[in-house]
Amino acid sequence: MKNFRTSLDANDLKEVGLDGWPFGIRDMVRFSEIDALNHVNNAVYFSWLEMTRIAYLIDYGLTEMGHSTAEPQIVVRRQVADYLAPVLFGDTYVVTLKTSRIKPSSLVMEYGVFVDGQLRVSAETVVVSLTQDGTARQVWRDAAIRSIVERDGAKLVGFD
C-alpha cells in the first residue's frame, strides 16, 4: 500500500478489499478532524471528498486546475452524504470515487469512505463544467470522457 494522501488506482484498491472502485485516496484521521463526540466531524467528510475529487479530476484529465480560458471551471452543484458508522481519531481510511453518469457538461460522482474495508460513509456529488468566466457550460474533453467510461464504466447520458 502506498503512503498517506496518495492516489490509489483500481489495483491498489483491490489489494485492500475494495474491488470495483477505480480511484481513491488513503489517509489517516488527524486530531483536528474530530469533534466533541470523539469522532470525525460531519463537515470534515466533505473536505475529504473534495481532496479526492480534485485528485481524480486531474488524474482523469478533466482539468489541470489552471486559470486559462481553455480550462473548465468545475463547480459543485449538489452534494449529499449518508453517515453509516463513525470514523475515529487515528483510523486509517480510504475515500473511493467513481463517476456513475456523464452528461456533456456534468458528472454524477459516487464515493465511499472505508475503514478496514467497512463502509462508513457513502456520498454523491454532482459537478458542472463551466467556462472559466462562469457564464456558460463547457463540454468535457473527449479524452476525459473516454477515460471515465473506460476506467469507471460510467453511463453516457445526453450524448447523440
User: Is 3 a residue whose pLDDT tops 50?
Assistant: yes
Q: What is the mean pLDDT of residues 88-106?
A: 97
pLDDT at 5: 81
Higher pLDDT, residue 69 or 26: 26
- Nearby residues of 67 by Cβ (< 8 Å), 6 or more positions away: 132
pLDDT, averaged across the chain: 94
pLDDT tens digit sequence for 124-139: 999 999 998 999 999 9
User: Model pTM?
Assistant: 0.93
Q: How far apart are CA 91 and CA 29, in angstroms?
A: 6
CA dist., res. 144 & res. 150, Å (int): 10
Domain boundaries, the chain: 6-156
Pairing mode, strands 92-103 and 155-156: parallel
Helix H or strand E segment including 145: helix 142-152
Architecture of domain 6-156: Roll (3.10)
According to the model, what pLDDT value does residue 31 have? 95
